[in-house]
Chains A and B, each alone.
Chain A
Amino acid sequence: MKFGQQLQRYPHFLERTYQLTYHLFKKLDPLIARIGYDRVDGWLRGPEDFAKRVVFDCHMCGQCILHSTGMTCSMSCPKNLRNGPCGGVRANGHCEVKPEMPCVWVQAYNRSLDMTVYGDELLNIQPPVNRQLEGSSAWINMLTGQDKAVPKAWPQMDIIPLAEK
């Protein structure tokens, strides 16, 4: 946990790492497709879970939006909010539910201010979570597009632009 907390103090470094990994996976996509997404998903789950748990306290929702939420796992919020803080945040910035824990969204906001690449994505509206993806590899779901498959009636675009920052 300690190591993770250290790393989380460098959100810009983390978003760069995310960006790199993203491009790496995109490059490897044809290969992974040939091996089979399901198979690679099986291999990846464990290591991905481990790595992301150490750094981000990841909850393996299978549709990672870390880069859009200040490199802070929004599923660590006890209410699983994906679009920002609830109204119960304590005056000291800690969580309504777990008084000893800083509110995930206070951290997400502060970190996003240092993120030059994806910082603004904090303003996007995130669609409802697909609970069926829980436990699977978010990287594979990214390649198959499953992580962005929103409910039929939900606006089909990836992001919903907001008032300029």
Chain B
Amino acid sequence: MNSEYKSDGRLERVLRSGRFAVTAELNPPDSADPDEVYQAALVLSEVCDGINATDGSGAHCHMSSVAICALLTRAGYAPIFQVSCRDRNRIAIQGDVLGAAAMGVSNVLCLTGDDVTAGDQPQAKRVFDFDSIQLLRTIKIMRDEGKFLSGRKLTTPPRLFLGAASNPFVPPFDWRPYRLAKKIEAGADFIQSQYCFDVPRFRQFMQKVRDLGLHEKAFFLVGVGPLRSEKTAEFMRTKVPGVHIPDAIVERLRKTPKEKKVEEGKRICVEIIQQVREIEGVSGVHVMAYRQEELVAEIISEAGLLPRPRIGGPVNNARPRRTHPVNGV
């Protein structure tokens, strides 16, 4: 096993080789049927280097992120395990991280999490025992020092590529790059951003990121996604926490004839990918197509990002079985 790498996963290899990476979000089913996960994964696996398994995003309950990861690794896919601080305390989270790693998960994305009030069960108790930075640091400690936060030793530490989120599009704007710096200091190896619909603002942000030298310390993947219509855009920017969509984009969709709206939304997404790709310090894109998975492949293909490189094995990167699970790293 290559010791230069922190994980055994494909995403880290694609990024470290200097290639432009693509990740995509899998919409988790409201179902106990594994086939629904596999069907969604089948579409995504050919066009990306990592599949994000969301953890109750928008505070809506779906199949759990750790379970989706387990299903995906079993089938040889490369998932990104999303962990939010909203629902679980430090004891539960550290256990889940070990379990996920044991099942072959190589990537973890550490999130604060949307508040319970964003979902359909606002009566729930919010946990937030950790914040995302403490979560990052804790998993880094588990990986690099082979210990739980309490200092208790792990017999085999997890090998994980650590991710954090960033939202350059909401206040306090001047502080956002520093917040990113904190996350990288705490342990983030890669960053997946919130939806980017405002490229000029993103450029400004990346300028500061480069000034701070952060683009050399972590890989930055820009969040993108198609809008179905101006109504979706309006819904997202008013109801989904943290999404900023400039008026110009909403207008553009409004002016498009009804039957062409979906196509136009897709075109906007492709244009944004092409623009952010040119920005120094951007290492990839993260495609989130809520309820429009069928578009993900088209977007990635039209943005000229296919075929995906086959490093670290085929799309699947199931970790090689160890003969001596305790001694062999």
A109–B175 alpha-carbon span in the complex (Å)? 7
Leading 3 A-B pairs by shortest Cβ distance: A152-B151, A88-B241, A87-B167
- Min CB distance A68 to B, Å, is 13
Q: Which residues of the other chain, A, contact B133 by a CB distance below 8 angstroms? A: 82-84, 125-126
Q: Which residues of the other chain, A, contact B148 by a CB distance below 8 angstroms? A: 153
Chain A binder among B15-23, B114-122, B270-278: B114-122
Q: Which residues of the other chain, B, contact A126 by a CB distance below 8 angstroms? A: 133-134
User: What is the number of residues of chain A that contact chain B, defined by CB distance less than 8 Å?
Assistant: 37
A125–B133 alpha-carbon span in the complex (Å)? 8
In the complex formed, the residue of A with least CB distance to B244 is A91
6 A-B pairs in the complex with CB atoms less than 8 angstroms apart: A79-B126, A79-B128, A125-B182, A152-B147, A154-B141, A163-B181
A160 within 8 A of partner (CB): yes
B290 within 8 A of partner (CB): no
Known contacts A79-B112, A86-B112, A160 near B185 by CB under 8 Å: yes
Q: How large is the interface on B (under 10, 10 to 19, 20 to 34, 35 or more residues)?
A: 35 or more
In the complex formed, the residue of B with least CB distance to A99 is B117
B130 within 8 A of partner (CB): yes
B181→A106 contact, CB < 8 A = no
Q: Which residues of the other chain, A, contact B7 by a CB distance below 8 angstroms? A: none
- Min CB distance A151 to B, Å, is 4
A118 within 8 A of partner (CB): no
- Select which of A79, A154, A163 is within 8 A of B115 by beta carbon: A79
A128→B149 contact, CB < 8 A = yes
- Select which of A82, A103, A109 is within 8 A of B131 by beta carbon: A82
A81→B178 contact, CB < 8 A = no
B138→A93 contact, CB < 8 A = no
A85→B175 contact, CB < 8 A = yes
